[in-house]
Amino acid sequence: MKIILRKDVKGVGQRGKVVDVNDGYGLNYLIARGLGEQATPEKIKQYEASEKQSAAAREEQERGLQALASKIDGQSVVVSARASSSGHLYQQLSAELVVDAIKKDFGVDVPVQSIQVHAPIKTIGETKAKIKLGKTTADFAVVVKGIE
């Protein structure tokens, strides 16, 4: 019996693969638990079409992220934070403030998890940072200006 797997099944195959299994295993385990469905020619064509569509959507999203990364690459964002007269911040600069500055300067939303800073930002001045968007990374500078 041929089955299209809906989820990864250890020892059988990965999601989306068409596998040949025993009739009892396919009917009583895989199909009954929603792990797969019987592979008919129509369902195989539907699955292949949906896979092509989702691959095209992923590729389009990746191109958009690459364009965004190239827009940010080499640029700097300015963040204002409360600091002492000696230049130390009262509170460590958070990634949320950097994301807000990117949104203000470039007009785009980026996830907080995509910001990578080598060390915590605790002083005014310029710090190098990276942003990871999909498979693309971009380097930028975070300029911290102190306010009292």
Tell me the C-alpha distance between 95 and 4, whole Å: 43
Domain region containing 101:
69-147
pLDDT along the chain (148 residues), means of 10: 91 90 93 92 88 91 88 90 88 89 88 88 91 89 88
State what percent of residues in the chain have pLDDT above 90. 43
Residues 73 and 107 in one domain: yes
For the chain, the domain total comes to: 2
Which of 62, 90, 108 is the C-terminal boundary of a domain? 62
Question: CB–CB of 103/71 below 8 Å?
Answer: no
pLDDT of residue 16: 84
Residues 31 and 55 in one domain: yes
Tell me the C-alpha distance between 12 and 4, whole Å: 11
pLDDT of residue 27: 92
Residues 56 and 112 in one domain: no
Which of 14, 32, 62 is the C-terminal boundary of a domain? 62
Q: What is the dihedral of CA 13, 17, 20, 22, to 10 degrees?
A: 60
User: Residue 33: which CATH number?
Assistant: 3.40.5.10
What does pTM read for this prediction? Answer: 0.64
